[in-house]
Amino acid sequence: MTDDPFSPRGFSETGHGPLYLQLQRRIADAIASGRLGPGDSLPPEREMASMTGLSRVTVRRGVQELVASGQLVQRRGSGTFVARKVERLEQALSLLTSFTEDMARRGRSVESRWIGRGLFAPSPEEVMALGLGSADRVARLERVRLSDGLPLAIERASLSQQVLPRPDQVESSLYSVLEARGLRPVRAVQRISATNLGAADAGFLQVAPGAAGLRIERISYLPSGQVIEFTRSLYRGDAYDFAVELKSAPDTDRRPG
């Protein structure tokens, strides 16, 4: 069918599930088929409601998941639009580089908006990860990372005060500051998981609350084995791919028998 998704026909027929899911499917199909293209506006919610014969609450509910998954964008006072394609960026996981260097290598602009920067009393998590003493203070760098104007990640880095006594001196790349002090990490361990973004973090990344994000915890080491950096990052799930190459485990290459 090449009909518009908002005709009242077909709604409420039994066996097709909840009405809000039926509407959601229609809109998703319209986007997938190209009937609705990037940047196109959808009718106002009240109009979608009257067109479909559904209530506005039900329309909003149908639209909601498409907003959360990044297919639609809503702007208060403005309207609902089909999201412009966000080109996925790939980051090679096997290389230990900083966000700044990574983007520069691709010829992309890098900006940061600082959320917080300073010396603090460490959290128990930071004491654990950085091996701090009870009297130590921790340097925290919290920022939103943007590339070509698009917010891509929230980065929360913690370092011992001894490693970074003046966090306010970090302007762009943390790693370049560390390198200037002869403290560039050469090894790191990362843990990657997925999480639903809370309202605050979603706001920083300009996505809907509940949207999926990639959470990465990284602990970086000096050649000496000393821990130097503990960073928790949240990447936009719709804008970032991590790529990694795997090799077979040595002990499973050959089997007895």
Partner DNA sequence: AAGTGGTCTAGACCACCTC
Partner DNA sequence: AGGTGGTCTAGACCACTTG
- The residues pairing with 196 across neighbouring beta strands, listed in sequence order, are 212
Residue 9 in the binding site for DNA (CB under 7 A) = no
Q: What phi, psi does 45 have (nearest 5°)? A: -55, -45
Residue 20 in the binding site for DNA (CB under 7 A) = yes
Contact assessment for residue 11 and residue 58, using Cβ atoms and an 8 Å cutoff:
no
Point out which span in 34-42, 115-123, 159-167, 178-186 binds a copy of itself (CB under 8 A).
Answer: 178-186
Q: Show the binding pattern over residues 32-71: x = contacts DNA (CB under 7 A), - = does not.
A: ----------x-xxxx-----xxxxxx-xx----------
Shortest Cβ distance from residue 136 to a copy of itself (Å)? 25
Residue from 221, 212, 235 nearest 70 by CA: 212
What is d(CA 46, CA 31) in angstroms, rounded to the nearest whole number?
20
**Is 83 or 96 the residue whose CB approaches DNA more closely?**
83
Q: Quick one: 255 exposed, middle or buried, by C-beta within 10 A (0-12, 13-18, 19+)?
A: exposed
Tell me how far apart the terminal alpha carbons of the chain are, to the nearest angstrom: 58
Residue 135 in the binding site for a copy of itself (CB under 8 A) = no
**Is 101 or 111 the residue whose CB approaches a copy of itself more closely?**
101
What is d(CA 151, CA 156) in angstroms, rounded to the nearest whole number?
15
Residue 175 in the binding site for DNA (CB under 7 A) = no
User: Which of residues 108, 172, 192, 232 is near a copy of itself by CB under 8 A?
Assistant: 192
248: partner contacted, choices a copy of itself, DNA, none (Cβ within 5-8 A by kind): a copy of itself
Residues in the chain: 257
Point out which span in 43-51, 118-126, 140-148, 191-199 binds a copy of itself (CB under 8 A).
Answer: 191-199
**Tokens, residue 9:** 């026909």
Residue 6 in the binding site for DNA (CB under 7 A) = no
Q: Which amino acid is at 183?
A: L
Point out which span in 74-82, 92-100, 145-153, 164-172 binds a copy of itself (CB under 8 A).
Answer: 92-100
Q: Quick one: 180 exposed, middle or buried, by C-beta within 10 A (0-12, 13-18, 19+)?
A: exposed
Residues that bind DNA (CB under 7 A): 18-21, 42, 44-47, 53-58, 60-61, 74-80
